[in-house]
Amino acid sequence: MPALKPTSFTATITWLGHVPSRELSLRSVPAKSVDVTLDGLPGEDHGGPTRPSCVRVRTQYKEGTVIRNTRQLSIVSAEELAATAEAMGLERIDPAWVGASLVIEGIPDFTHVPPSSRLMSSSGVGIAIDMENRPCVLPGREIEAEAEGFGARYKPAAKGRRGVTAWIEYGGRLALGDVLTLHVPDQPAWSHLEAARAG
């Protein structure tokens, strides 16, 4: 029995890009198409099979520990990006400013799709979603450089709509206009989740 269930929810890729060097800037460089591999996007500084652990997993590992890379991609939804911009008082947020890999349009409440969901392209590319990408101050610095006085507004405005981190499960070509179908784990939510979160 399959563990992942195809859904009727689909999304269109409206933006693609990669971050060449996090040391220099979080800013993404846009592209019309990319050939992704199991290491992620070509030229992406977040790519590769492993990564040093960061503050997001500091309760599991000492920062800098080499772990499996489930953060090859940063995927945001066009709808949530627009809502974040509106909450900040900006006309728009360029996806490059937030270090996006993909911007997709069409899946409601995208940031909160179940972990381990898949986005499947018609050509067979498989993108595995790790979890919600919590907002941080780094995109705010890029926004501040473009819209002075607005950078500090990003982190609170993006809460719950920063998108997800993800990794490539099966490679191939992704291009602007491609349609991705959402597949979700075919299991109920754990009945003890609230108790576990409460500690």
For the record, the structure tokens of 140 come out as 């705010």
Residue 1 reports pLDDT greater than 80: no
Mean pLDDT over 9-22 rounds to: 96
Residue 105 reports pLDDT greater than 90: yes
What pLDDT does 177 receive?
A: 98
What pLDDT does 51 receive?
A: 96
Residue 190 reports pLDDT greater than 80: yes
What pLDDT does 56 receive?
A: 87
Tokens 């890029």 identify what position? 142
Condensed to tens digits (0 to 9), the pLDDT of residues 55-80 reads 889 999 999 999 999 999 999 999 99
Decide if 122 contacts 170 (C-beta within 8 A): no
pLDDT, the chain, mean: 95
What pLDDT does 137 receive?
A: 87
Whole-model pTM: value is: 0.94
What pLDDT does 72 receive?
A: 97
Condensed to tens digits (0 to 9), the pLDDT of residues 142-171 reads 999 999 999 999 999 999 999 999 999 999
What pLDDT does 136 receive?
A: 87
What pLDDT does 70 receive?
A: 96
Residue 22 reports pLDDT greater than 90: no
The band of 91, judged by pLDDT with boundaries at 50, 70 and 90, is very high
The band of 173, judged by pLDDT with boundaries at 50, 70 and 90, is very high
Residue 125 reports pLDDT greater than 80: yes
Residue 3 reports pLDDT greater than 90: yes
- Our CA angle for 84, 178, 125, nearest 5°, is 105
What pLDDT does 143 receive?
A: 94
